[in-house]
């Protein structure tokens, strides 16, 4: 679709630009710059919000970080892109046993009974990869099961009389 | 008879006064000449200026070192320190250093309360140089911990945090923030 052929924006340019806020009931500073958070944890970065029961956040030397969130379930919510149209205008909601978020690559991997919902489309699988900025979904099954993708076709276009065009298509096509 | 009736209340008051005095005196003597608490606080046994106070453990190694502009040491073994800086915490000399306008060791206790505003700086092993700010911090050489039960703010390169309370061991291996923890990581670089 047109929005994906935008000027060649590298992943780096698309990466979250705002600061990242983590909230929790408790936090423990563990060695190697890793923080262990527990109790109502949430991570917010731009329009992305990850939440669960525990979260380990490891800060890397280059300033990026890796976050591993576990919960029953761990939840991802990605608000629509302000002013966008098409898929990016739809909120994304996903759940899994674990979420692994790497700010460097800008990807969230949903691990274990993962399912993602965007508008009326749904994806189920053992693992789902979600590229945050491009809002692109990659899903993978495992030996127990496959990936299930449910696409709901957009409703047929309505004409002035409010009737579905399907019946009058030949006439619509005949006009021009 | 009238004179007797008039004198009775006076006699009774006299007896009460004598009784009270006996108790407080006794109290005095039982406390072996110890002045009432507030007066003993006002009169330190020793005052030291520009002083260093070192606390040794059973292993005869220094556990804690405090330097202060003034130290008032009292008969009940309590201590008041002014412009205090603790630059040695723990026998292995842990990473933390704490400074505060006031320090106070309550009578018979093995901890010091630092009061506003307290700055704790240090770099835990394999961690980041960290600064913690709080209204009040306890330094406990019995449990080998520093802790604050009042809200704290902490900052380290690339991140800053706030919480309702904080605890760290002298060695800096266990640093915990508790209650409404909020951590802000700087935006990852582009």
pLDDT > 80? residue B156? yes
CA distances (Å), B29 to each of B21, B24, B37, in order?
A: 12, 8, 14
Q: Is residue B5 part of a domain?
A: no
A110-114, A125-129, A155-159, B73-77: least confidently modelled range: A155-159
Chain A interface mutation, best of B157, B185, B186, B189, highest count of A Cβ atoms under 10 Å: B185
Give B118→chain A minimum CA distance, Å: 20
DSSP lists the bridge partners of residue A30 as A34
Classify residue B102: in a domain, yes or no: yes
Instruction: With beta carbons under 8 A apart, name residues in chain B contacting A59.
Output: 158-159, 185
Residues of B with CB under 8 A from a CB of A: 124-128, 130, 158-159, 161, 163, 173-190
Chain A positions touching B163 (Cβ under 8 A) are 27
User: How many Å apart are CA A13 and CA A16, to the nearest integer?
Assistant: 8
pLDDT over threshold 80, residue B125:
no
Report whether pLDDT(B121) > 70.
yes
pLDDT at position A109 over 80: yes
Q: Record the pTM.
A: 0.73
Do residues A91 and A118 make contact, with C-beta atoms less than 8 angstroms apart? yes
pLDDT of B6 reads 54
Question: Residue A137: its pLDDT value, please?
Answer: 86
Name chain B contacts of A15, Cβ cutoff 8 Å.
188, 190
- Is B23 among the domain residues? no
CB A15 within 8 A of CB B188: yes
In a domain, B135, yes or no: yes
Dihedral angle over CA of B101, B39, B55, B63, nearest 10: -60
Residue B190 lies in a domain: no
- Farthest-apart Cα atoms in chain B, separation: 106
Q: Which A residues 7-66 touch B at CB under 8 Å?
A: 12-13, 15-29, 31-33, 35, 37, 57, 59, 62-65
Question: Which chain B residues are closer than 8 Å to A104 by Cβ?
Answer: 188
Phi, psi of A91 (to 5 degrees): -70, 150
The CATH number of residue B109's host domain is 2.60.450.10
- Please tell me whether the peptide bond between B104 and the residue prior to it is cis, using omega within 30 degrees of 0: no
Q: Is A124 helix (H, G, I), strand (E, B) or coil?
A: strand
- Answer whether residue B37 is part of any domain: no
Query: What's the mean pLDDT in A106-135?
Result: 89
Q: Looking at the predicted structure, is the pLDDT value of residue B186 above 50?
A: yes
Residue B164 burial (CB count, 10 A): 15
Residue B80 included in any domain: yes
Tell me how far apart the alpha carbons of residues A68 and A55 are, in angstroms, rounded to a whole number: 5
The answer, yes or no, to whether residue A42 has pLDDT greater than 50, is yes
Domain extent at residue B68 = 46-185
Which residues touch A149 (CB under 8 Å, ≥6 apart)? A121, A122, A123, A124, A139
Which pLDDT does position B40 carry in this prediction? 47
Q: Report the residue of chain B nearest A66, measured CA to CA.
A: B188
Residue B76 falls inside a structural domain: yes
- Give just the sign of the alpha carbon dihedral B57, B60, B61, B64: positive
Backbone angles phi, psi at A68, to 5 degrees: -120, 115
Share of chain B above pLDDT 70, in %: 73
User: Is pLDDT at B110 greater than 70 in this prediction?
Assistant: yes
Higher pLDDT residue, B188 or B160?
A: B160
* Mean predicted confidence (pLDDT) in B14-27: 33
Distance from CA of B115 to the nearest CA of A (A): 24
Between CA A116 and CA A108 the distance in angstroms is: 12
Tally the domains of chain B: 1
pLDDT for the residue numbered A143: 62
Predicted confidence at residue B143, as pLDDT, reads: 93
Higher-pLDDT residue of B28, A94: A94
pLDDT of residue A158: 60
Q: Which residues contact A134 (CB under 8 A, 6 or more apart)?
A: A4, A14
Residue B141 DSSP label: T
Q: Does B184 sit within 8 Å of A19, measured CB to CB?
A: yes
Q: Which residues pair with A148 in a beta bridge?
A: A124
Section A34-60 average pLDDT: 93
Q: Which residue has the higher pLDDT, A58 or A56?
A: A56
Check whether B154 has a pLDDT greater than 60. yes
Of A102-116, B68-82, B122-136, B156-170, the poorest mean pLDDT is in B122-136
């Amino acid at each position: 679709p047109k929005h994906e052929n935008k000027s060649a924006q590298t992943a780096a340019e698309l990466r979250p630009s705002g600061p990242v806020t983590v909230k929790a009931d408790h936090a423990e500073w563990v060695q190697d710059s890793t923080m262990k958070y527990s109790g109502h944890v949430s991570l917010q970065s731009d329009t992305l919000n990850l939440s669960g029961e525990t979260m380990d956040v490891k800060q890397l030397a280059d300033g990026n970080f890796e976050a591993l969130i576990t919960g029953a379930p761990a939840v991802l919510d990605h608000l629509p892109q302000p002013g966008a149209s098409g898929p990016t205008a739809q909120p994304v909601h996903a759940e899994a046993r674990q979420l692994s978020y790497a700010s460097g690559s800008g990807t969230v991997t949903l691990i274990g009974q993962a399912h993602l919902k965007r508008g009326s489309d749904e994806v189920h699988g053992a693992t789902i990869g979600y590229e945050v900025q491009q809002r692109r979904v990659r899903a993978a099954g495992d030996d127990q099961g496959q990936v299930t993708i449910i696409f709901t076709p957009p409703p047929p276009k309505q004409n002035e009389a409010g009737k579905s065009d399907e019946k009058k298509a030949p006439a619509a096509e005949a006009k021009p | 008879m009238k004179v007797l009736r008039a004198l009775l209340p006076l006699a009774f008051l006299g007896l009460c006064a004598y009784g009270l005095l006996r108790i407080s005196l006794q109290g005095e003597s039982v406390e072996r000449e110890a002045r009432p608490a507030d007066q003993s606080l006002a009169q330190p046994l020793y005052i030291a200026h520009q002083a260093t106070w070192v606390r040794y453990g059973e292993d005869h190694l220094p556990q804690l070192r405090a330097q202060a502009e003034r130290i008032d040491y009292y008969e009940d073994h309590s201590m008041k320190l002014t412009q205090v800086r603790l630059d040695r915490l723990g026998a292995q000399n842990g990473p933390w250093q704490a400074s505060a306008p006031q320090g106070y060791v309550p009578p018979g206790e093995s901890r010091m309360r630092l009061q506003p505003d307290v700055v704790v700086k240090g770099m835990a092993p394999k961690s980041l140089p960290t600064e913690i700010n709080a209204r009040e911090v306890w330094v406990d050489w019995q449990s080998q911990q520093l802790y604050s039960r009042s809200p704290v703010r902490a900052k380290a390169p690339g991140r800053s945090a706030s919480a309702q309370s904080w605890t760290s061991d002298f060695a800096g291996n266990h640093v915990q923030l508790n209650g409404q923890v909020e951590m802000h990581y700087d935006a990852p670089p582009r």
